[in-house]
Chain A
């Protein structure tokens, strides 16, 4: 993985001491809260309902065991013994104290981590496929691109005060696991006819109050021109994006107000300006620098192995729970004899994405002993061990299981994304996590979930859509009706290469009604599907919303 150079180390250290002095000045009264608030937000420190919340950046979701141990130590020493994986592949701490924050940041800096640009109207953490570097069919490891973007966007002086926050995602496989179509910019790594890698560029996707699927801005951008093209897009957005109304300030609104053609023309004009400067005059990376960064993402030295493993086969035959976990939580690896495994943070009844200090340490140990010291966070609020030998898999599973980390539900209906909602969030209308937990309880039997098949349920406690409800196969949005919690269902959303925004179906449902309603939609699907291979989303695409709406409201009346 990428390791800090002297420049990275210096800017992160400087930032910590700067923030320490800012906190001192706030406490002494030398600066007001209005002055301090943007400074703390630039360092990832929010104020939620009960406490501060610190959001730690996890660039493209990649962590090593030492970093996991540092996160565990922060959870233990400064928080309440747990941390939380966010839908931007970051970590959040829910209870830090203001005075401790500089020390926390210092501890993070020692492990090459920080909280910079995890808030505010700047370019946020670039996210990617959590199987990056391990997945089959990759054009190249997408994290190389993410790291190039990280270096370019960190403290970029021109883009520190954009009209709104800005999110970029990168995918390097045909199957999109990074939700690139619902990002401000989505980059799809592809090869041209000559076999050279480059990018298809999407712009103007997003969720929130006005969900939109991104539009294709460029069919093939040579890799060498990535940064000047991104800079051109950001420059157009920075100049023309709306600053008069925060709800209309995202780039998706600018693209739709300008129209794609005019927006593209404006970007091309800026792009030409960079091109005219010629090699060395633009902001693009010299090839040797790109190669240096790429070197950090060289695949781990995986010993050659056979495609089959006797140890694995024996365990599979003798342990039903292991077989269930294998069935749902594994993903094919590009090397024979290896797999990637999803470490589910969705046991029934626990807040989706929470992980304790002890569990973080267990995961660090497993990664060190069996996983080539590589761990990922996922935007679906789970974690991943990307490189595991089939021969080691049973031992890994048993250790995960002992630590409560072997729930066999990846991709099933209890693998729910839920935002923090009204249990923590200052902006929430309703709670999200208790709804997720009640759905998990209703469908607790994993074999019954397995029978239902892949089903993505996503829950947000308000229209900001941090829980990605717009792209849930079943989305649930919390709405406030005169102080009571109500929930609006959307159906048919999807965040993959066939991305779609879910359709709002009917009136809001009360807290008491919502779980029954989800169950009715699911049983209607089971009645209507053509075979067990037809997933919920496939059946929805074939049949449309109507039969599901009927099921929802006929009996709810």
Chain B
């Protein structure tokens, strides 16, 4: 089976296919904050710094993220647009994860921009 049709977890209970541009996301072990895999095999809280990858590169990044258990919990691949904004079926979920709860604009990263 080639990398682009591998079934993957896409967060929560949902499954998807490894097609298109992906970012590895997880939660920080200590704070629970949403984090993204970035260049240099480091985690970032800034989605715009994330590493966008496709196909077998996405699976490799995911594997590395899984190996970094000391920092992160539950890594999976999320869909992104070329500008790194969340896309696809998980767009709303990933936007809320990144920004914060829509009912509490005073909390989460959305609050920092207010």
Contacts from A to B (Cβ < 8 Å): 26-27, 29, 32-33, 47-52, 80, 95, 97-99, 351, 422-424, 426-428, 431, 433-434, 437, 480, 482-483, 485
Contacts of A49 in B (CB 8 A): 34, 93, 96-97
The yes or no answer to B70 lying at the interface (CB within 8 A) is: yes
Contacts of B91 in A (CB 8 A): 483
The yes or no answer to B74 lying at the interface (CB within 8 A) is: yes
Given contacts A95-B107, A426-B11, is CB(A51)–CB(B102) below 8 Å? no
Main SS of chain A's interface residues? loop
Given contacts A95-B107, A422-B93, A434-B102, is CB(A29)–CB(B33) below 8 Å? no
The yes or no answer to B29 lying at the interface (CB within 8 A) is: yes
* A32–B89 CA distance with the chains assembled, in angstroms: 30
A98 CB contact (under 8 Å) in B30, B90, B96: B30
Within B47-91, the residues touching A (CB, 8 Å) are 69-70, 73-74, 88-91
Given contacts A33-B73, A485-B92, is CB(A423)–CB(B101) below 8 Å? yes
A97-B34 in contact (CB<8A): no
B103-A437 in contact (CB<8A): yes
Most buried by B among A33, A434, A437, A482: A33
* A52–B88 CA distance with the chains assembled, in angstroms: 26
Contacts of A483 in B (CB 8 A): 88-92
Contacts of B74 in A (CB 8 A): 33, 47
Contacts from B to A (Cβ < 8 Å): 11-13, 27, 29-34, 69-70, 73-74, 88-93, 96-97, 100-104, 107-108
B107-A33 in contact (CB<8A): no
A97-B103 in contact (CB<8A): no
Main SS of chain B's interface residues? loop
* A32–B74 CA distance with the chains assembled, in angstroms: 11
Contacts of B69 in A (CB 8 A): 29, 32-33
Contacts of B103 in A (CB 8 A): 351, 423, 431, 433-434, 437
B96-A52 in contact (CB<8A): no
Q: Which 7 A-B pairs have the closest CB atoms?
A: A51-B32, A483-B89, A423-B101, A52-B32, A433-B103, A49-B97, A426-B12
Q: Told that A95-B32, A426-B12, A483-B91 touch, could you supply 9 new A-B pairs with CB distance under 8 A?
A: A33-B73, A47-B73, A95-B107, A98-B29, A98-B30, A422-B93, A480-B89, A483-B88, A483-B90
* A97–B101 CA distance with the chains assembled, in angstroms: 17
Contacts of A97 in B (CB 8 A): 30-32
A430 nearest in chain B by CB position: B92
* A27–B79 CA distance with the chains assembled, in angstroms: 29
A46 nearest in chain B by CB position: B32
* A482–B16 CA distance with the chains assembled, in angstroms: 12
Contacts of B93 in A (CB 8 A): 49, 422, 428
B27 nearest in chain A by CB position: A47
Contacts of B101 in A (CB 8 A): 50, 423-424
B107-A482 in contact (CB<8A): no
- What is the minimal beta-carbon distance from B103 to any residue of chain A, in angstroms? 5
A426 nearest in chain B by CB position: B12
A482 nearest in chain B by CB position: B89
* A16–B27 CA distance with the chains assembled, in angstroms: 24
B29-A50 in contact (CB<8A): no
Contacts of A99 in B (CB 8 A): 30
B96-A47 in contact (CB<8A): no
Given contacts A49-B97, A80-B107, A428-B12, is CB(A98)–CB(B89) below 8 Å? no
